[in-house]
A and B are shown apart, each in its own frame.
Chain A
Amino acid sequence: MNRRVWRWLIPLSAIPVLALLAYGFRVNPREVPSPLVGRPAAAFTLTTFDGAPLSLEAQRGKVVVVNFWASWCYPACYEEAPVLERNWRRYRDRGVVVIGVDIQDTVEAAQKFIRDFDLTFPNVRDATGKVSVDYGVYGVPETFFVDRQGRIRAKHVGAVTDEVFRRHVDRLLGDTAG
């Protein structure tokens, strides 16, 4: 009798191991800790694809979403482009600005990307790569959420979803103190 029960311990022994592996899913590798979070966002002035200069400093007082992208970045940049555009339209009247920073790209390919997705938020070109170095960009896409005081408050690696955009932006909009 005893032995009959005891043998079922064999399949049961697999459960702790499986549980440990399942625990791995609780950890989100997309939420990358960045030493820049909490620090002032590095200032930059770059030229938009329409030819106008755009500086981060000038956006002080608004919540700024700085998104690093490239036209060769599939699929993530392709997934998030409509998301960024949609949320930019939804939030722009509430003091939110989205800035796309195109890195390591050719002008023609980037312009085609902007046309294909009908992007209306300002997109600038980081021709020398300086800005992406300042922000410690590791790969595209990476997105930084900057609060009204010009501090980086969150960093997201990979395609931005509606949920991610709204979670961070709503939090920063609600933050009137400080």
Chain B
Amino acid sequence: MIPEVGGGAAFAALALAVWGAVAAAVGGRTGRVALVESAQHAALAVFVLVTACFALLTYAFLAFDFSVRYVATNTNLGTPFYYRITGVWGALEGSIILWTWMLALFTLLVILRHRESARELYPWVLTVMLAVIGFFLLVMTVAAPPFERLTPAPANGRGLNPLLEDTGMITHPVALYLGFTGLTVPFAFALAALIAGRVGDAWITMTRRWTIVAWYFLSLGLLIGGWWSYHVLGWGGYWAWDPVENAAFMPWLTATAFLHSVMIQERRRMLKLWNIALVILTFGLTLFGTFLTRSGVIASVHAFTQGTIGILFLSFLAVVLLTALGLLAWRWDALRAQGELDSIVSRESAFLLNNVLLVAATFTVFFGTVFPLLSEAARGVKVSVGAPFFNQVNVPLFLSLVFLMGVGPLIAWRRASPDNLRRNFVLPVAAGVLAAAAFFTLGVRSALALLALALTVFVAGTIAVDVVRATRARLRMGERVLPALGGLLLRHNRRYGGFVVHLGILIITLGVTGSHAWSVQTETTLRRGEAAELAGYRVRFDGLTATEESNHFKVAGTFTVSNGRVVGVLRPAKKFYPQEQSPIAYVDYRLGLKEDVYLVLGDFARDGSQATVKVQVNRLVSWIWIGGLVLTLGTLLAILPERKKAA
């Protein structure tokens, strides 16, 4: 029953999406309002139908309906309740439903918000949104149908990939997909602007919040992915430059570039062409990411199954890029800049440099990611480039970006006077230099770490200079400190939201620097009662315990960790799932602001007499997650409705 109803709903939604896209386009061209309204109704119906598909599949998971192939593949009778819900989007077919559903939701929100305000662009926006939904529905009906029937229906299912049995997997895909799908909105507006020939600032103003929100969810998705990798995968890191991580990181880089470059267009009427190109690139990269994860072209730990779906995604990517860039070339004359760069020492040029660096980083990541393909095409050998390549190329780029993060917001527009530079940068530069000297005397010898710390302090200094100066100005008006500060943040929420986001990035930079420069690890085999020592910690092996869990068998080691006093008892484990060839590691850790103690269980003797354990002391990693929280606060501040400026 469920397979037929679900499949039918998907087909109906596909037909409606196609109709809606065409109707909106014809309506936009001829000005026939009735057609646009019909497209609106189609969008609403698509949303209802996709929601129904999503609900049906969720129900099939909860009810263990193994006659649905997708359910049988991704759950079994032992799968706990929560993971039966997350199992819905744990693999290819369900992830496409979630993706389509979010697109339909965003389309609905666009209709509610911009129906009246974006008259000329609106029909075309609707066309683009519905066309993208139509493509995903095509994938859902043709290449990856989630409602396929499995006969004979098995008595039990295969079970979810055990690595996905984690709370991070509830939120990570959701956040990431919200980011990816959210970026469809600015893309739709950019394309609409090109088609309608209205390439002014309207589309940018209207999509500002959309872009920030999508960017935020993308950031959140990346951070949660890092957290998942850190505490589930058990190799002690949070970022591996895996192709799929890169696939999510590239649109983040270009979206970050876009968030900055739009400010130049708003202020100086420059970069119209560049901004549209960035949005197209960003959307293209989100598709490229989906292509990469789902085509199996580049092997990755994340790779979903392969099949016709890859060809479908590549064709869509081709259509999108050729159409969008073709439109760009067509509107070339209208897109040429009106403003001009007055001086190298100005905010415009700082932002431009920021953009160049971000796009350069995108290209290096792209190059590294597709390198196996390139080398195979050119030389017939599959060679991957690993973390060393990415780090070597990107670390200088990112440190330069951190530097610009201090310069950009404070330097004057057009042409910075020596006085402007002195007023804003003397103190922060001094603070940065002092910090480097202080860390050097404290024993930090890594030049890279010193540079990163100095830059972090410098940027924090520029933020402090700005906030202190602006607060002082308010104090002179007779306000008290806290109200002055609060008023500042709320009145100029866009600027100070940006500052808070920068602060979040600085904190993340600190965590990344610390974890790279100062983390230590050791791997050793211990007999029961023996202890290993690392960085002031004693890790004593107290024995093994074995337990039968609902869907797996678990062997856990007991380790007492102390540094003078007992820090805690950690129980890293290996989980044996019947459907998996090799056991899954379960790491245990104590998180701290200064450092994390992190244990991974290796081989062990069956009688529990000895076990191999990897002990890591990871420095400052927690600040990465704290930085994520700060980033969240900053984003919230930045998207608050702008207040009327007080007279």
Contacts and interface: CB of A to CB of B under 8 A. Distances in A.
Contacts of B579: 70, 72-73, 104
Interface string B287-314: 0100100011111000000100011001
B377 A23 contact: yes
The secondary structure that dominates the B interface is: helix
A7 B329 contact: yes
Interface residues of A, number: 30
Contacts of A7: 329, 332
A74 interface: yes
Given A10-B325, A72-B579, A29 B306 contact: yes
A23 B150 contact: no
Interface stretch (B154-162, B524-532, B633-641): B154-162
Nearest to A30: B306
B152 A116 contact: yes
Nearest to B372: A24
Contact of B76 (A29, A72, A116): A72
Contact of B322 (A11, A70, A73): A11
B356 interface: no
Interface in A65-119: 70-75, 78, 104, 109, 112, 116
Given A14-B322, A72-B578, A74-B157, A21 B73 contact: no
Nearest to A129: B581
Nearest to A24: B297
Interface in B324-368: 325-326, 328-329, 332
B317 interface: yes
Given A75-B69, A78-B150, A21 B156 contact: no
Contacts of A75: 69, 72-73, 150
Nearest to B579: A72
Given A24-B295, A24-B298, A74 B73 contact: yes
A74 B69 contact: yes
Interface in A120-140: 137-139
Interface in B366-390: 370, 373-374, 376-377, 382
B426 interface: no
Contacts of B158: 72-74
A21 B247 CA distance: 14
A20 B374 contact: yes
Residue among A22, A24, A116, A138 facing the most chain B CB atoms (10 A cut-off): A24
A11 B310 contact: no
A139 to B, nearest CB: 6
Interface string B68-100: 010011001000000000000000000000000
A104 B72 CA distance: 18
A32 B373 CA distance: 17
A160 B298 CA distance: 22
A18 B291 CA distance: 11
A74 B76 CA distance: 12
Contacts of A14: 318, 321-322, 325
B155 A112 contact: yes
B523 to A, nearest CB: 25
Contacts of B328: 10-11
Contact of A138 (B69, B288, B581): B581
B376 A27 contact: yes
Contacts of A29: 296, 299, 306
A26 to B, nearest CB: 9
B311 A11 contact: no
A20 B377 contact: yes
Contacts of B322: 11, 14
Contacts of B150: 74-75, 78
A116 B317 CA distance: 42
Contacts of B325: 10-11, 13-14
Given A11-B322, A74-B69, A104-B578, A18 B377 contact: no
27 contacts: A7-B329, A10-B328, A11-B321, A11-B326, A11-B328, A18-B318, A20-B374, A21-B291, A21-B314, A22-B314, A23-B377, A24-B373, A25-B295, A25-B310, A27-B297, A29-B296, A29-B306, A72-B76, A72-B156, A72-B157, A73-B158, A75-B69, A104-B579, A109-B156, A116-B152, A137-B581, A139-B581
Q: Which 6 A-B pairs have the closest CB atoms?
A: A24-B297, A11-B325, A14-B321, A7-B329, A11-B326, A116-B152
Given A18-B318, A104-B581, 16 more contacts: A8-B326, A10-B328, A11-B322, A11-B325, A11-B326, A14-B321, A20-B374, A21-B288, A21-B314, A24-B298, A24-B373, A25-B310, A27-B297, A72-B154, A74-B73, A75-B69
